[in-house]
Copies of this chain bind each other. A is one copy, B any other.
Amino acid sequence: MRLSKRGEYGLRAMIALAEPAENSSAPQMMQIKEIALREQISAKFLEQILLALKNAGMLHSKMGVGGGYYLARSANEITLGQIFRVLDGPVAPVKCVSQMAYEPCGCPDEETCGLRLVMGDVRNAVSDILDHTSLADVIKRQNTIRKNPGV
């Protein structure tokens, strides 16, 4: 049930990009180096990750001097589930309960396979969380705790 470094770094980067810029209300633009430094990630590795997120349509970028990455949609329209799936693949613990990558798992009767039923519950529980938590939700939650320490 592990989140890969790739997934972890990608999620951290997206959260960083969702954090409101100091003075502007425009979408926050950040450079790879900037994010890598702040989150203590290898810049070269992060590069690949951001590129994957860009190719998946979740980030836009600007090339050349003064360029960088910024969210393709507003922070409350991007869920952690979307990001996770791009970087780490399906949420389902076994293929036979996957919505995005179903494959039979070879048990004689899938309908009554007890393991499959439970793993289906797990899949639903996890995707309930990830698909209903937007980047904006994450920022909100961080801020709530910062204002209310120790709760």
Q: Which residues of A contact B (CB under 8 A)?
A: 1-3, 8, 11-12, 15, 39-40, 80, 88, 90-94, 105-107, 111-115, 117-119, 121-122, 125-126, 128-130, 133, 138-139, 141-142, 145-146, 149
Contact (Cβ within 8 A) A119 B3: yes
Shortest distance in angstroms between A65's beta carbon and chain B's nearest beta carbon?
29
Contact (Cβ within 8 A) B115 A12: yes
Contact (Cβ within 8 A) B106 A40: yes
Copy number in this complex? 2
Query: Contacts A118-B80, A138-B114 given: A93-B3 contact, CB under 8 Å?
Result: yes
Contact (Cβ within 8 A) B8 A115: yes
With A and B bound together, what is the CA distance between A146 and B105 in angstroms? 19
With A and B bound together, what is the CA distance between A146 and B126 in angstroms? 27
Contact (Cβ within 8 A) A92 B1: yes
Query: Contacts A118-B129, A125-B125 given: A91-B1 contact, CB under 8 Å?
Result: yes
